[in-house]
Amino acid sequence: MTRQIRNIAIIAHVDHGKTTMVDQLLRQSGTFADHEKVIDTVMDNNAIERERGITILAKNCAVSWNDTHINIVDTPGHADFGGEVERALSMVDGVVLLIDAQEGPMPQTRFVTKKALALGLKPIVVVNKVDKPGANPSMVVNAAFDLFDKLGASDEQLDFPVVYASGINGWTSLTEGAPGEQWGPDMSALFDTILRYVPPNSGDPAASLQLQISALDFSTFVGRIGIGRISQGTLKPGMDVLVMEGPDGKSTKGRVNQVLTFQGLNRVQVTEALPGDIVLINGLDDIGIGVTITSPIDPAPLPMLKVDEPTLTMNFCVNTSPLAGREGKYVTSRQIWDRLQRELQSNVALRVSETDEDGVFEVMGRGELHLTILLENMRREGYELAVSKPRVVFHDVNGERHEPIELVTVDIEEGHQGGVMQALGERKGELVNMEPDGRGRVRLEYRIPARGLIGFTNEFMNLTRGSGLISNIFDGYEPHRGEIPGRKNGVLISMDDGEIFTYALGKLDERGRMFVKPNDPVYEGMIVGIHSRDNDLVVNATRTKQLTNFRVSGKEDAIKITPPIDLTLEYGVEFIDDDELVEITPKSIRVRKRHLKEHERKRASREA
């Protein structure tokens, strides 16, 4: 082969510094010109990714180091986007596992590492953020070894190289030490470790073409674009190929239009691509995730990519509220269905099906974050819809109902330990590990039904005064653990259509916390606040002061109202009960009862 190639994926738990590390690799490999102004976390190019500081989609880039072309895939850390991680790992020959030098291995570290080890990839462990106060690199390396051992790593995988780094400052070193003493001045230690330990691709350029599509993109100029790694053979523009859905699936003929590879963050057209190259191809209409592009003369299809099944389901419905159609551009069931079908083409962890009810679709995903990111994208595109409370996906095993169990790690101050343990116990959680860190904080590990985590995030933040960290990962299916108590408070329901007035809010303030502010439109059946008691209460939210010409001496007191709760999409989805919906429009998030009329709600509760 004419050039050396290495393909690596950077995997880690949320916020352990993957995207920042890729920034430094791009900068120090000379990808950007000296005068070029580059934003931080340059790989997170989606608006929602930049707002939330998380990676949602796996992204590709490439750098050159010592005449070697290194393809880098930056992957998400959240387990909800595990479908992205699984596809990314199918394109690479090695993984760089980043672990925070203070936090150590976390649940999502376990998740992504398990996937990498199962594929036979040998990890390079990078202990990141070693310059943080409280960093303990040697403890982290030992914890990583124990984790690999628990996950069934081979002897070769257990003999992993370690690099110490501070991604944000661009340092790496092969030895542990204090900053300024033994640190390398740049990322060369990591680059050299990648070249030494990640094997080059061993595919034969003369063999039959074998290219598996791991990701999709779209361009208005050339249509659908497939992204994947060539395992063997040579690919050229204008070549006739076969698109095969696994060894036993259907196959269609086609012709490749352009072949592009990554160079830095850019895509560059090439006249031929060889084994090991991660390429982008267009011109094929029937291209999809997991298909193999192969030679029509001597086909060599690969098995389709396997992705873990979804664990959570929601109903997406047409918006039927009195305010429907005022803000959205796409409001019909056909438009919502078409949008969900488009999402399925690239979002492999999603499942969509029609229900018996007209205009209601069942959408299954990996978790709340997975589904709410889809909803956020849809509302930004101009869609208007309503969604139900998330429900877990049950499995029937030998006639017994099994439910998904999550492994939850909470990192909290010791003073909040009692309240958090009580809350998790009420939600059928069982404690499996407890580790105080000796500095006033404690880490608890629980196994808890996924049902118990729906709506728990807000309660957890209140219990820990915002200082707690919580993360969870799917751990398997187990027999149903019984009923879990739901929301403790009832809601305040508007009895009329109209506009909210300050006078009405002043009267309702003592009844509970409000979701609405003066001049907001409301309608009958819309939820305007949280009741301070456990029952639902129908209130007059459009009440106005009666104006008369009767005057009294003395000045009236100014009406004091508590600021409303900021109703975000995530909060709304977590807050609602089974008989409620979240109404989502491009400009507003509202919560409402499924049945808007009071007599309909009473009839429904009798039938239930």
The pLDDT tens digits for 493-510 are: 999 998 888 878 888 888
- Return the SS3 of 437: coil
Mean per-residue pLDDT, 527-552: 81
pLDDT for res 352: 93
CA–CA distance from 153 to each of 115, 125, 149, 171, 219 (Å)? 11, 14, 5, 29, 41
Supply angle C-alpha 333, 337, 340, rounded to 5.
Answer: 140
Q: Does the annotation place 15 within a ligand binding site?
A: yes
| CB distance 256 to 199 below 8 Å | no
Q: Does the annotation place 17 within a ligand binding site?
A: yes
| CB distance 601 to 579 below 8 Å | yes
Distance (Å, whole) CA 352 – CA 415 = 44
Name the token pair of 213.
């599509």
Q: Which has more confidence, 583 or 435?
A: 583
- CA proximity to 375, closest of 404, 406, 347, 403: 347
Which CATH fold would you assign to the domain 491-583+590-607? OB fold (Dihydrolipoamide Acetyltransferase, E2P) (2.40.50)
- Return the SS3 of 426: helix
| CB distance 371 to 360 below 8 Å | no
DSSP category for residue 326: S
Strands (DSSP E) contained in 256-359 are: 259-263, 266-269, 278-282, 292-294, 312-318, 351-354
Q: Which has more confidence, 328 or 13?
A: 328
DSSP category for residue 401: E
The pLDDT tens digits for 64-89 are: 888 888 888 877 655 555 556 777 78
- CA proximity to 295, closest of 339, 244, 350, 358: 244
211 has pLDDT over 80: yes
pLDDT for res 107: 65
pLDDT for res 501: 82
Read off the pLDDT band of 59 (50, 70, 90): low
Distance (Å, whole) CA 290 – CA 210 = 12
How much is the mean pLDDT over the chain? 82
Mean per-residue pLDDT, 252-279: 87
Amino acid identity, position 554? G
Distance (Å, whole) CA 452 – CA 473 = 13
| CB distance 6 to 70 below 8 Å | yes
The pLDDT tens digits for 157-192 are: 899 999 888 877 777 888 776 444 444 577 888 888
Neighbours of 303 (CB within 10 A): 12
What is the four-CA torsion angle of 308, 59, 191, 10, rounded to 10 degrees? -30
Read off the pLDDT band of 322 (50, 70, 90): very high
Q: In what order do the strands lie in the sheet with 59-65?
A: 59-65, 68-74, 4-12, 94-100, 122-128, 162-166, 171-173
Name the token pair of 100.
């925070």
Q: Does the annotation place 131 within a ligand binding site?
A: yes
Supply angle C-alpha 597, 598, 599, rounded to 5.
Answer: 95
Distance (Å, whole) CA 329 – CA 331 = 6
Read off the pLDDT band of 37 (50, 70, 90): very low
- CA proximity to 472, closest of 447, 442, 451, 455: 447
CA–CA distance from 148 to each of 87, 140, 145, 314, 558 (Å)? 21, 12, 5, 35, 64
Distance (Å, whole) CA 378 – CA 418 = 40
Amino acid identity, position 312? L
Where do the structural domains in the chain lie, given as residue ranges?
Answer: 4-197, 210-294, 395-479, 491-583+590-607
What is the four-CA torsion angle of 266, 267, 268, 273, rounded to 10 degrees? 130
Lowest mean pLDDT among 36-50, 247-261, 460-474, 569-583: 36-50
DSSP category for residue 301: P
Beta bridge partners of 400: 397
Q: Does the annotation place 130 within a ligand binding site?
A: yes
Q: Which residues, other chains included, contact 398 with Cβ-Cβ below 8 Å and sequence gap of 6+? A: none
Distance (Å, whole) CA 559 – CA 579 = 33
Q: Which has more confidence, 284 or 51?
A: 284
Phi/psi at 396 (nearest 5 deg)?
-100, 115
- Helix extents (H) in 30-129: 47-52, 82-89, 107-118
pLDDT for res 78: 56
Q: For the chain, how big is the Rg over CA atoms in Å?
A: 27
Read off the pLDDT band of 40 (50, 70, 90): very low
Beta bridge partners of 99: 127
Lowest mean pLDDT among 41-45, 272-276, 323-327, 393-397: 41-45
Distance (Å, whole) CA 113 – CA 147 = 9
| Superfamily name with CATH number, domain 210-294 | Translation factors (2.40.30.10)
> What's this model's pTM, rounded to 2 decimal places?
0.76
Beta pairing class for 512-514 and 526-531: antiparallel
| CB distance 577 to 368 below 8 Å | no
Phi/psi at 536 (nearest 5 deg)?
-75, 145
| CB distance 259 to 227 below 8 Å | no
The pLDDT tens digits for 328-357 are: 899 999 999 999 998 887 777 789 999 998
Q: Does the annotation place 129 within a ligand binding site?
A: yes
Q: Does the annotation place 545 within a ligand binding site?
A: no
Distance (Å, whole) CA 463 – CA 384 = 34
5 has pLDDT over 70: yes
Q: Does the annotation place 220 within a ligand binding site?
A: no
CATH class label, 4-197: alpha beta
- What length does the chain have? 608
- Return the SS3 of 580: strand
Which CATH architecture is the domain 395-479 placed in? 2-Layer Sandwich (3.30)
